[in-house]
Amino acid sequence: MFIRHGAALACLVVGLAAPPPAGAVDGLITRPSPHSTDATLDKFEAAAKKRGLVVFARLDHTAAAASMGLTMPRSTVIVFGNPRVGTPNFITTPTLAIDLPPKAMVWEDSTGKVFLSYNSAEFLLGTQYLRHGIQVPKPGIEQLEKTFAAIADEALQ
């Protein structure tokens, strides 16, 4: 039996309409923010830069939706990283660049509550790196987890 494209798309959209509760996505750390979306974004960016990381871009999903006449709660992804660490990995394993640099997302739910979400270091290094054949020792994962947590803590203070 074949499903017409429109019906398949409708099923996909309905499936996406009910997101899992905050914090329920495997490998994703989601924490509530006491700040506005813009303040959380700015504080996250400042905390990342303070630790020597580069902020490459902010991807404003809400603005992109608005450009198509659609509305959605605020949602912005921050792409950040350390080229001194990432570049040698990209040179030896070019496909790793499809998964990196790491990202964080500041978003609002339908009630206007603000959240900060980011992939755990365990997910980033133990899943994304691993799928490209790169194994990272546990101390490296633990150190990156501490860095991510420190950035998030500072952004949410």
150, HSE (Cβ side, Cα atoms, 13 Å): 14
Is 134 within a domain?
yes
Q: Report the predicted TM-score, pTM, of the whole model to 2 decimal places.
A: 0.84
Place of tokens 């964080």: 104
Is 13 within a domain?
no
Q: 25 or 136: whose pLDDT is higher?
A: 136
Q: Is the pLDDT of residue 137 over 80?
A: yes
Count of domains observed in the chain? 1
Residue 53 neighbours by CB distance under 10 Å: 19
**What confidence score (pLDDT) does residue 61 get?**
98
Domain that holds residue 119: 30-155
Quick one: tokens of 136? 């990272």
Asked if residue 57 lies in contact with residue 81, where contact means CB atoms within 8 angstroms, the answer is: no
Is 130 within a domain?
yes
Asked if residue 74 lies in contact with residue 109, where contact means CB atoms within 8 angstroms, the answer is: no
Q: Is the pLDDT of residue 119 over 50?
A: yes
Quick one: tokens of 45? 């960016």
Residue pLDDT, tens place only, 85-102: 999 999 999 999 999 999
Asked if residue 109 lies in contact with residue 115, where contact means CB atoms within 8 angstroms, the answer is: yes
Average pLDDT over residues 122-142: 92
Is 15 within a domain?
no
Is 93 within a domain?
yes
Residue pLDDT, tens place only, 9-55: 444 444 454 555 555 788 999 999 999 999 999 999 999 999 999 99
Asked if residue 105 lies in contact with residue 78, where contact means CB atoms within 8 angstroms, the answer is: yes
Is 7 within a domain?
no
**What confidence score (pLDDT) does residue 21 get?**
56
Is 16 within a domain?
no
CATH number for the domain spanning 54: value is: 3.30.310.70
- DSSP helix/strand/coil, 21: coil
Is 3 within a domain?
no
